[in-house]
Amino acid sequence: MSPTRTRRWTEFVCRLVQQWFWTVMFFGGLVGTVVLILAAHSVPQWIGPAIMLVSFFVAAQRSFDDAVAEREATIAAKDDEIARLRAELDDVRARQPEVAVAFATADGPSAQGHLVTSRLSAPDFDGLVADQQKHLMAKYRKAREDRRAESARELGVVSSAAALGPGLSGSAIPPAISGYLDQYRQYLVDLHEAQRLGNSVGFLSFALVNRGRAVAETVRVEILLPPGLETPTEDQWFAYQDTKYLPSPPKEPTVSDMLNSGNLLADIVRRMSDPIPAPAIEPAVWDAITPAQADDPPEPRWTYGSNRVLLPVVDRLNAGDTLDDFGRVPVWIGDLTEDTTFEIEARITAANLPQPQIQHLTLHVTVTGARKA
């Protein structure tokens, strides 16, 4: 039995004994008075036990009624105290903001976020190159037959080697086609890698909401990403940046290129007529990892391969207002092979908040094309 229940039982028993004593005294005195008045009659023996029993039940009832009344008074006092404390708490809350962090979504701020990525299987590079080779060789053979027929009309019957030029007789692949196919294979490999990297980075957008009735001052928010959901490393980030410039397919060789392939003079003329390729454009470095300048829009602060993100400091967030124009935070999701749910922690401080607030957001990452276990 708990100490509180023991104390209550002790108090009840003490009250019962006290009430019983005074009740016995009352009834005993009453019976004594009656006996004195009726002295001629003897007192039955059962009168004493009856007085004791009746006195006990009367004392028990009175003790119970007193205990109930006392408990009701205590409860009423506690209710009054609770109402007073609630009023004080409401008054304190009315003077404090209530800042919440959420994902900025198309439907408004939400504690639930969602990213989608896909796992691309490597295409059949050999098959694609073989199809392209078949296509070009068909064009080449047709052009060779056309030239042979034209030469026969203009110069009389000549050998196919003389009509086609050196190195182009038989079924050998012309250098122009073989060189193009090498470039075409590399283009397919680079394109697949760019598409894979493009699906390996997701972006998170956050919003701040003041649900209180007071202005929030100097609001600072720290986002803590869970293991497996860090920002990209430096190599990952620059590789992803390169995907902004998808590789261009190589230019197919013309019929003239294919027929004149292996002819030194024709190759020199063709190369001299080719435009000089433009220098490769270096991808711009996203400046979210560097301190923002005074005239820059606010951007979240993050570093390579980290789980810590700092949102821009908000000097003033009015009651009922929502701020969702922060920049995006990149996260690396290229290593996920199945649907995963992450819990993100947000720590909020403000100049007029008595202590930091901790919140948790849920991020669902859907992996399409992933093999199911």
Can you give the pLDDT at residue 233?
93
Specify the CATH architecture of the domain 99-119+199-232+298-373: Sandwich (2.60)
Can you give the pLDDT at residue 255?
81
Cβ neighbours around 86 below 10 Å, total: 10
Closest by alpha carbon to 255, among 350, 349, 142, 357?
142
Can you give the pLDDT at residue 177?
87
Per-residue exposure over 228-257, b if at least 16 CB sit within 10 Å of its own CB, e if not: ebbbbeeebbebbbbbeeeeeeeeebebeb
The H or E element that residue 156 is part of is: none
Does this model's pTM top 0.75? My answer is no
Can you give the pLDDT at residue 371?
47
User: Please, what's the largest Cα pairwise distance for the chain?
Assistant: 173
The domain segmentation of the chain, as residue ranges, is: 3-94, 99-119+199-232+298-373, 122-197+246-280
Distance CA 306, CA 208 (A): 22
Are 288 and 201 a contacting pair, CB within 8 Å? no
Give tens-digit pLDDT for 149-186: 877 776 655 444 444 444 444 467 888 888 899 999 99
**How high is the mean pLDDT in each 10-residue block of the chain (373 residues)?**
70 71 64 57 63 67 74 85 83 79 92 89 87 88 83 61 48 84 90 83 93 90 94 90 82 82 50 46 35 54 93 92 90 89 95 91 87 41
